[in-house]
Copies of this chain bind each other. A is one copy, B any other.
Amino acid sequence: MASRPKATILDIAREAGVSKSTVSLVLQGSDLIRPETALKVRKAIEDVGYVYNRGAANLRKAHSNVIGMVINDLTNPFFAEMAVGMERVFQSAGIVPFIANTAENPVRQEEVLKSLMEQGVAGLIVSPARGTTPGAFRRIEMAGLPIVFTMRRLPESRIPVIAPDNHRGAWLATAHLIGKGHRRLAFFGGSSDLVVYHERLGGFREACEALGIAKRDTLVVEGETSRKGGIACLETALAMADPPTAALCFNDAVAFGVMLALRKRGLEPGADFAVVGFDDVIEAQHYMPTLTSVAVDSAGLGERAAHVMLRMIQSRTTRAEDHIGAVNLVVRDSCGPHRPAGMGDAA
């Protein structure tokens, strides 16, 4: 039913008794058209139920108003927060972000990128899936399409990156744990095929060294970056001879998993074992106990990425500087009481 053969600009022209060029001008809001004519045209547009065909338009002007946002894990609230930040700035620039999920699957990522490019997006904001091959973005770069990475960076690539200061964040968190008196520390979750992993782990290691924790009192357990991964990490750690008493987790999801596993063993997070997360997703302040975490300002990073992208599009360049976002440690309850509450920040 319905499905008449789709109105075009010519149908409108006929309906309004003008030429297609006039209609086109009206559609673009040109002031070369007499207001009354424009009105007549707009009415016709409404009448025939016209929908603009951007594909056809792009054929001539190649100036799409959509950018693609490719995310490795949509179910991580972190990315949703970031997306919201981006949308804020894109909206006011009249451009629409389409989001696509790769579910951490490089093959899927390839498909999604292909589709987005074919669709003629003006730019790409990507958080690459784990295991992305180095050459995966060559075609996009060759096409001269603006692209920025968020959160993750690829080993050799020259593509600009917007990411938090992972090194410093990990350093701060580790120092906090040591300041609490812990002497046997662990780093939980993540895997070494991620550059971020090395950054965070590096911060952890340096802080340990600088603050006098011997390397042999330090434990690193790789694992999935999810609650499940966190649970597994804790199990592994507690099975060791001289188990750690505190852990910095690769991200909040892992931290939640760790706390969960502690509870299941009858241990109290904070009192019996200190845990710090990374990302400071909204849930962090709602957990029991509330989670001390490295806040990375996800929405802010999203906004920043969007701005960088806009600038790249405007100046039609494919280069831009990296941007390392400030981080700060939000101290809550998951590392035990830190003095009488009162001037705490855990809101």
Contacts and interface: CB of A to CB of B under 8 A. Distances in A.
A84 interface: yes
A283 B76 CA distance: 12
A45 to B, nearest CB: 11
B117 A119 contact: no
Interface of A: 1-4, 6, 49, 51-56, 58-59, 62, 65-66, 74-75, 77, 80-81, 83-84, 87, 91, 96-101, 103, 108, 111-112, 114-115, 117-120, 139, 141-144, 227, 256, 260, 263, 282-283, 286-288, 316-319
Contacts of A56: 55, 59
A55 B51 contact: no
Given A6-B143, A77-B75, A84 B103 contact: yes
Contacts of A53: 59, 118, 120
Nearest to A88: B103
A284 to B, nearest CB: 12
A65 B119 CA distance: 10
A148 to B, nearest CB: 16
A269 to B, nearest CB: 10
Given A80-B80, A96-B112, A283-B283, A55 B58 contact: yes
A77 B55 CA distance: 33
A120 to B, nearest CB: 6
Nearest to A117: B51
A260 to B, nearest CB: 6
A256 to B, nearest CB: 6
A81 B75 contact: yes
Contact of A101 (B3, B83, B287): B83
A217 to B, nearest CB: 30
A101 B84 contact: yes
Nearest to A46: B139
Given A74-B84, A112-B96, A318-B1, A52 B118 contact: yes
A301 to B, nearest CB: 15
Nearest to A108: B91
Contact of A118 (B51, B80, B99, B117): B51
Contacts of A59: 53, 55-56, 59
B97 A100 contact: yes
Contacts of A75: 77, 80-81, 84, 282
A77 B78 CA distance: 11
A302 to B, nearest CB: 12
Lowest 10 A-B CB distances belong to which pairs? Answer: A55-B55, A288-B288, A3-B144, A2-B144, A98-B98, A54-B118, A49-B142, A99-B99, A96-B115, A75-B80
A242 B266 CA distance: 38
Given A51-B139, A118-B53, A83 B74 contact: yes
Contacts of A87: 101, 103
A81 to B, nearest CB: 7
A209 to B, nearest CB: 34
